[in-house]
């Protein structure tokens, strides 16, 4: 029988964690859906021809405009055997296949979500850990700064920042990074503080020179797993948020980028109820993704929180 002093195999922890994760059926379902989205995104990035799509970066083919009046001005058509999800209207160009469009959009949206969350998390976590560890004036100052960001609702702040930067897709992502990092700074700071409480005694025993290194060695394993769970949850939330930003018209009509909220926004311009599929299907795509991510996040929480395992 193994005693507590016996060294664990290198991958024992990972195996146990995977067992716990895969025991949760809905988490696995979420993982599968998430993987499908990732697959679509990667295919669009690397080999769009595989799914019968040219030019993954544009929503509607601009060449079509030049061939007006056959292209421009056509109305969206309902789902049919030819177009599984129907067609949409983008940038004045009608009859764009919605399924193709959405697949292109998933690539863009996924990339942007990851970019926003990872950047915000990176900036925020570093600042939060430094602030929590340093304490004193640095900590106070950081708290005040993050407090200031919390005085305005995030969507409104993103609008304002985006307004200043300009109405492009990249600026939308940037403004959301600006809005999002304080959350991570706060969260990382509180995690650091609680870890600091625990390991302080050990640190007191360590030599003064090694203290910083040892503390970081102790802090990171306690701070990173919950942050990772939060990142995985936020990816879904952020996608919904910036789709909503695009929906209310952040991107100008001429933007012609495949983005789920933008597609929905364009779908509104031609009368609300009549062409519902142009709004509903992108919305469902967003919902499915958020669902998958939330389920996965629950699974991750099961892994890192020992209480939930029993």
Residues that bind another protein (CB under 8 A): 144, 147-157, 159-161, 163-165, 236, 240-241, 243-244, 247-250, 261, 264, 268, 272-273, 276, 279-280, 283-284, 286-288, 290-291, 294, 310
In the complex, what is the shortest distance from the CB of residue 10 to another protein, in angstroms, rounded to a whole number? 26
Nearer to another protein, 129 or 159 (CB): 159
Calpha distance 300→310 (Å, rounded): 15
The three-class DSSP label of residue 87 is: strand
| φ, ψ of residue 57 in degrees (nearest 5) | -90, -10
Nearer to another protein, 61 or 171 (CB): 171
Nearer to another protein, 250 or 300 (CB): 250
In the complex, what is the shortest distance from the CB of residue 150 to another protein, in angstroms, rounded to a whole number? 8
Block residue for tokens 């012609």: 256
Calpha distance 43→52 (Å, rounded): 11
Calpha distance 280→196 (Å, rounded): 48
Nearer to another protein, 43 or 232 (CB): 232
Nearer to another protein, 17 or 294 (CB): 294
Nearer to another protein, 184 or 250 (CB): 250
In the complex, what is the shortest distance from the CB of residue 236 to another protein, in angstroms, rounded to a whole number? 7
Rounded (5°) CA angle 151-164-89: 105
Burial 171-204 (b: 16+ CB within 10 A, else e): bbbbbbbbbbbbbbbbbbbebbeebbeebeeebe
In the complex, what is the shortest distance from the CB of residue 265 to another protein, in angstroms, rounded to a whole number? 9
Nearer to another protein, 35 or 63 (CB): 35
In the complex, what is the shortest distance from the CB of residue 284 to another protein, in angstroms, rounded to a whole number? 7
In the complex, what is the shortest distance from the CB of residue 282 to another protein, in angstroms, rounded to a whole number? 8
- At CB < 8 A and 24+ separation, what contacts does 160-169 make? 162/245, 162/250, 167/250, 167/251, 167/252, 167/255, 168/251, 168/255, 169/108, 169/112, 169/251, 169/255, 169/257, 169/259
In the complex, what is the shortest distance from the CB of residue 102 to another protein, in angstroms, rounded to a whole number? 14
In the complex, what is the shortest distance from the CB of residue 60 to another protein, in angstroms, rounded to a whole number? 21
Nearer to another protein, 71 or 290 (CB): 290
Burial 6-38 (b: 16+ CB within 10 A, else e): eeeeeeeeeeebeebbeebeebeebbebbeebe
CA proximity to 169, closest of 115, 92, 220: 115
Length of the chain: 310
């Amino acid at each position: 029988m193994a005693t507590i002093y016996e060294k664990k195999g290198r991958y024992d922890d990972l195996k146990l964690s995977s067992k716990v994760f895969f025991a949760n059926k809905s988490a696995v379902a979420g993982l599968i859906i998430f993987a499908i989205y990732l697959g679509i995104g990667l295919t669009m990035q690397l080999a769009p021809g595989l799914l019968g799509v040219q030019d993954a970066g544009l929503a509607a083919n601009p060449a079509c405009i030049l061939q007006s009046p056959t292209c421009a001005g056509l109305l969206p058509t309902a789902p049919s055997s030819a177009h599984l999800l129907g067609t949409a209207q983008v940038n004045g160009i009608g009859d764009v296949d919605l399924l193709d469009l959405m697949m292109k959009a998933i690539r863009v949206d996924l990339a942007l979500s990851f970019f926003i969350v990872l950047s915000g998390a990176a900036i925020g976590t570093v600042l939060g850990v430094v602030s929590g560890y340093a304490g004193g004036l640095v900590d106070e100052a950081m708290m005040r700064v993050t407090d200031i960001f919390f005085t305005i609702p995030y969507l409104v702040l993103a609008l304002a920042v985006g307004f200043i930067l300009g109405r492009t897709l990249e600026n939308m992502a940037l403004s959301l990074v600006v809005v999002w990092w304080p959350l991570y700074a706060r969260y990382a700071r509180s995690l650091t503080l609680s870890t600091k409480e625990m390991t302080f005694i050990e640190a007191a025993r360590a030599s003064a020179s090694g203290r910083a290194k040892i503390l970081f060695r102790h802090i990171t394993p306690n701070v990173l797993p919950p942050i990772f769970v939060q990142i995985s949850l936020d990816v879904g939330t952020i996608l919904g948020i910036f789709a909503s930003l695009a929906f209310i018209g952040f991107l100008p009509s001429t933007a012609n980028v495949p983005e789920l909220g933008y597609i929905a926004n364009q779908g509104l311009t031609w009368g609300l109820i009549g062409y519902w599929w142009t709004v509903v299907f992108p919305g469902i795509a967003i919902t499915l993704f958020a669902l998958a991510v939330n389920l996965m996040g629950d699974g991750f929480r099961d892994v890192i929180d020992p209480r939930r395992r029993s």
